[in-house]
Structure 1
Amino acid sequence: MSVPISVVSEETGIAKEVLRKWEDRYGFPVPGRDAADKRVYSGAQVARLKLIKALLDAGMRPGAVVPLDEAQLQALLAMNRPPVQAGAGDGRLVEVLRAKEPNRLREHLHAELARLGLEGFVLDLLPGLNKQVGDAWAEGSIAVHEEHLYTEMVQALLREAVQAVYAPLGWPRVLLTTVPGELHMLGNLMVEAVLTLAGARCISLGTQSPLQDIVAAAEAYQTQVVGLSFSAALPRKTIAPILRELRQRLPGEVQLWAGGAGVAGLEKVPRGVRIFQGLHEARAAIREFKPRRD
């Protein structure tokens, strides 16, 4: 059974533009064509793309993994998978997902949030849970719809929790979004939660904002910081040029921050761009701002 590129992108988390670039650059994936001459992909290619995505999320570069066959990818994934640490959900979350009981999943997440508080939930628990779910998805032990269910529930929970602590007069004002081709929203919501708790006023544009819209929004909302999240799904060599162009377009007094697996280990960081390796660093950076003077 063949599936269209839009479905492949949704199931794997890899942007359609990235799939086309890989086709040209690495010779994979190699799509067929339907009656309307649109790209379609086999189930085997989708499975291989899921493995590639798991390795990219672990920090590997597309050029090192996209050309590999499925057996090589499986072996590499096994080598790079750290042992699951106790206290990161103890595997119960995956069991709840497999049980296919959405109410249990919602109750489990709410209970963890109540137990840890929003900051502990985001900083100490969610990274481990996200890793468990990602590994289970890559291994095929949970279905794509189960991974999507988890992501949507966590996002809804974070939006509700952030709204409860939202400070209209928070400082500094931080504009959060992703660039075109970057579909992942969960990372931005985690950042929003941590920065809001640190006293910032976060303004979220969602995902895939054109650069000109980011610049316009930063001016319209008079933000002091623009924060971008990059997953490993974007080709790493495109990230620095994007950051460089945006830095040139933004006013000099507006700080440009970037974080996520996509910028981890970035070889050349454009001047005037601040890279964060984790949420703790971003929280500390917010506290560096002097109190607002009206």
Structure 2
Amino acid sequence: MFVLDKRAFGAAMVPISVVSSETGIAKEVLRKWEDRYGFPMPQRDALGNRMYPLEQVSRLKLIKTLLDRGLRPGTVVPLDEAQLSELLPAQPAPVAGAAQENGDQLIDLLLRRDPNRLHESLRAELTRVGLESFVLTSLPRLTASVGNAWATGRIEVHDEHLYTEIVQGLIREALQHAFDPLGSPRVLLTTVPGELHMLGNLMVEVALTLQGARCISLGAQSPLPDIASAVRAYHTQIVGLSFSTSFPKKSIVPILRQLRSQLDGETQLWAGGAGVVGLDKVPRGVRLFQTLDAACDAIQEWRKRHALSPR
């Protein structure tokens, strides 16, 4: 492997070919990230070629590590090096072999434009590993494969939408056999206006349902007063919101603060999803979760605090 040497390029700058070799990130991907996320931010040499500071190469290596562990470019590329380093301990190391093979097969089926075989393949994976493992282990890796394929231009956005719709249908079907109508705590799940993505909420619904919670989903884009009204109508103890990377990050904290003010003090407000990663401030009375495991642990904490036994 080429070893970076500050003396070789003067002022610690390296060309895109070396950056790609050192990080394992293709040159065309680096260019696409530059346009889409504003990072990396190369300078230009006298011939107009991209030249990168070494500190950006270090950050790109962290990004590549997290991508290999299942996170999506939109989640990690905008983060600074300190935020990336904080994410590393929370992300499991990649599992070689079957997981990579399944991801490659999934992309192949999307490229073939074969929705029937795609549906059969995802259903087979769900049947093979079970609902919990599918949502907590298989799905994050498969979704990361789809996201990376879209980010690099291998598939189109309609391919990603097809994948999402099939996965959501399979999960909803499996959930019908998993939920306990008497489960506790009662968790209201939805997204706020402007947030169309529901896969994250659906994954949370599975994880919490399997922990014995009773999840009530309002679907996407619920107005904040309607959320507060639904909490009272359904006697829910927790409100869970999901934010994707496409949702404006600057709007998240004001929305959480506004909704928090509309809920009584006994109702907990939780937020998760890739969109909340890297938030600088968290309103008082709001809990953020970066992983499904953390949300599951919080359900167990709630149950212990309220002296309830798991089902």
TM normalised by structure 2 equals: 0.69
- Counterpart residue number, 2:176: 163
Structure 1 residues 145-171: Cα deviation after superposition (integer angstroms, max 9, x where no partner): 211110100000111111111211110
Preserved CA contact (<8 Å) 2:195 2:243? yes
Post-superposition offset of 1:173: 0.5
Distance 2:137 2:248 in 1: 29
Task: Look up the SS of the partner of 1:284 in the other structure.
Answer: helix
- Counterpart residue number, 1:196: 209
Letter in 1 for 2:176: Q
Preserved CA contact (<8 Å) 1:51 1:138? no
Preserved CA contact (<8 Å) 1:258 1:274? yes
Candidates 102, 124, 149, aligned match of 2:137? 124
Post-superposition offset of 1:78: 7.5
> Which entry has the higher C-alpha Rg, 1 or 2?
2
Aligned-residue RMSD, C-alpha: 2.7
1:137 aligns with 2:150: yes
- Counterpart residue number, 2:228: 215
Q: Which has the higher contact order (CA 8 A, sep 6+)?
A: 1
Structure 1 residues 229-261: Cα deviation after superposition (integer angstroms, max 9, x where no partner): 011212222111111111111011000000011
Moved over 2 A (4+): 48-52, 64-68, 75-90
Preserved CA contact (<8 Å) 1:240 1:269? yes
1:99 aligns with 2:116: no
Percent of aligned pairs sharing the same letter: 58
Letter in 1 for 2:104: G
Post-superposition offset of 1:99: 1.8
Equivalenced residue count is 232
Letter in 1 for 2:116: N
Candidates 280, 284, 288, aligned match of 1:275? 288
- Counterpart residue number, 1:239: 252
Distance 1:175 1:90 in 2: 32
Letter in 2 for 1:122: V
Distance 1:49 1:207 in 2: 28
Post-superposition offset of 1:265: 2.2
- Counterpart residue number, 1:19: none
Task: Look up the SS of the partner of 1:160 in the other structure.
Answer: helix
Q: Which moved more, 1:169-178 or 1:102-111?
A: 102-111
Structure 1 residues 16-74: Cα deviation after superposition (integer angstroms, max 9, x where no partner): xxxxxxxxxxxxxxxxxxxxxxxxxxxxxxxx79973xx5xxxxxxxx56999xx99xx
Distance 2:146 2:256 in 1: 30
Task: Look up the SS of the partner of 1:287 in the other structure.
Answer: helix
| Runs of 5+ unmatched residues, structure 2 | 1-31, 43-48, 51-55, 70-93
- Counterpart residue number, 1:291: 308
Post-superposition offset of 1:224: 0.4
Task: Look up the SS of the partner of 2:201 in the other structure.
Answer: helix
- Taking the TM superposition and a 5 Å limit, the aligned residue runs for 1:6-85 are 52=36, 55=37, 64=38, 80-81=63-64, 82-83=67-68, 85=94
